[in-house]
Amino acid sequence: MIRQQSQHTQGDRPMKGASIRAIARGAIAGLLLPLAVGSAAQTPLRWDTPAPSAPVVRTPVQVASAAPVISPTGLVPHPLPVADGFNVRMFEDIAQQLVVDQRIPGMAMAIVQNGRIVSLRGYGITDTRAAEPVDTHTVFRLASLSKAFAGTMTGLLVNDGQLRWDSRVTDFLPDFHLRDAYATQRLTVADVLSHRVGLVHNTYDRDLEGNVDYRSLTQKLAYAPAACLPGDCYGYQNIAFSLIGDVVFAATGSFYSQEVERRIFKPLGMNDASYGLEGIEASPRWAKPHVHGRGGWVSITPKPNYYQVAPAAGVNASISDMAQWLIAQGGHRPDVLPAPLLATLHAPLVSTPGEVRGSSWRRARLSAASYAIGWRVYDYAGHQLVFHGGAVQGYRGLVALLPERDLGVAILWNSESSLPSGLLPTIIDRAIGMPAQRWLDVEPSDDLLYAEGRTPATQAGADANTSTASPK
């Protein structure tokens, strides 16, 4: 997600990335394994680079992966059932309580399992000034949840042979420069998408917030101080990450947002999804951003700055759209997203240990954290969790996949409150059978607590369905 640099931007906590060379030497043994790929164009994502005077020939580094086994019907051939006590009605009841008395203005949640929607609902209102109910087609701003779309879009072009993961950025953007000439030539497509550009965290984000235009900031990268060589460490970026949009344009001749719409939104039936400020304002129904004001939440005009970096933070979508996105990322739409591509996108590439020291549920549940291609990958109490968070002024969101249970969760809300964040670990804990822990200051209603002991999880999910879908 975009890091909070002021009171109205977001919070991705800076952290010191582990050196790739140290990983290769075994300092983080077992983090990744060689990636399964589905075509000759699917090149490895990690390389050793020779001295500048030698021919540039990158060979794969043997690393570890928690990527799931591929199946034609999902990413795991025989996913485990959710644990006893997984009650969708309870999660919906908790979500409803979060909007009571405008603790938060509005939110929406989708839960999918085994390629089907088991919960899809909106809660609360779109705007405290002109209240309308949030429904399943209300559009929210996704902020850094957009990064997974950038990685996926690039992967589709890799599958097509239009570029490679190890393509140099300068092969497509010959005028691009970093401070060091060798670093400029070394930077690859995969480095950009995994935040291994070699820059310090959130380089020039403050300038972006100060209304400096994106093109000027990309040129300014030629003077940005380096933390390491590209590929050698993690440093979360928004401006440098969005270079991938320019690469997509150079490779296809089409604007990045148009390619995502053509290759992802339309095939998946993400009919409410769009890019940019114009996109969200043109939506028939959209949730206004809210900030704290005197007497409670106050709706404001969406801040346009981060819409400039479309690959990093440009997507708008409804919770209906996100349900289809979860189904596809879970491996149930191989006609659009091939399973080998998903394995590549979800395979961790660089350690991000600062994530383990984040919010309370991260501190309690995570033993390891990494960044992949537009996704974070966590070890959540011994279970792989593919995750990303997003935050920009007035909006927050979380998306997570639990491959071993074939479970996906998306939660979007239109305020700067952190309150709904605790709903995700509440759901994941129940899915894997962890002892209940209080991540939220609300409890399910008494009748649900009573029913929980005698209602099978699958039936609870079926009873709570607002909409169901299966892949086509």
Question: Please, which residues bridge with residue 224 across strands?
Answer: none
What pLDDT is stored for residue 45 in this prediction? 52
Banded model confidence at residue 444, pLDDT cuts 50, 70, 90: low
Convert the pLDDT of each residue in 8-60 to its tens digit.
333 333 333 333 333 333 332 333 323 333 332 344 454 333 333 222 223 23
Of 325 and 462, the one with more pLDDT:
325
Contact yes or no for 471/332 (Cβ under 8 A)? yes
Of 62 and 385, the one with more pLDDT:
385
Contact yes or no for 437/359 (Cβ under 8 A)? no
How many CA atoms are closer than 13 Å to the CA of 8, on its beta-carbon side?
Answer: 17
What pLDDT is stored for residue 136 in this prediction? 98
What pLDDT is stored for residue 25 in this prediction? 30
Torsion of CA 67, 69, 74, 77, to 10 degrees: -150
Of 385 and 64, the one with more pLDDT:
385
Contact yes or no for 152/127 (Cβ under 8 A)? no
The whole-angstrom separation of Cα 177 and Cα 240 is: 11
Banded model confidence at residue 445, pLDDT cuts 50, 70, 90: low
Convert the pLDDT of each residue in 285-323 to its tens digit.
999 999 999 889 999 999 999 999 999 999 999 999 999
- Select from 345, 271, 357, 277 the least CA-distant residue to 310: 277
- How far apart are the two ends of the chain, measured CA to CA in Å? 31
**Mean pLDDT of all residues in 187-198:** 98
Convert the pLDDT of each residue in 200-251 to its tens digit.
999 999 999 999 999 999 999 999 999 999 999 999 999 999 999 999 999 9
Number of neighbouring beta carbons within 10 Å of residue 198: 28
The percentage of residues in the chain with a pLDDT greater than 90, rounded to a whole number, is 75
Of 136 and 444, the one with more pLDDT:
136
The percentage of residues in the chain with a pLDDT greater than 70, rounded to a whole number, is 78
What pLDDT is stored for residue 142 in this prediction? 98
Convert the pLDDT of each residue in 84-124 to its tens digit.
999 999 999 999 999 999 999 999 999 999 999 999 999 99
Contact yes or no for 61/48 (Cβ under 8 A)? yes
Question: Please, which residues bridge with residue 401 across strands?
Answer: 386, 408
- Both structure tokens of 85: 């006590």
Number of neighbouring beta carbons within 10 Å of residue 17: 25
Contact yes or no for 154/193 (Cβ under 8 A)? yes
- Select from 161, 189, 188 the least CA-distant residue to 38: 161
What pLDDT is stored for residue 166 in this prediction? 98
Convert the pLDDT of each residue in 351-405 to its tens digit.
999 999 988 999 999 999 999 999 999 999 999 999 999 999 999 999 999 999 9
Torsion of CA 342, 348, 354, 357, to 10 degrees: 70
- Both structure tokens of 349: 């590439």
Q: Is the pLDDT of residue 463 over 80?
A: no
- Both structure tokens of 294: 């005197």
**Mean pLDDT of all residues in 127-136:** 96
* Residues counted in the chain: 472
pTM score of the predicted model:
0.82
Of 264 and 464, the one with more pLDDT:
264
Angle between helices 339-346 and 147-160 (to 10 degrees): 130
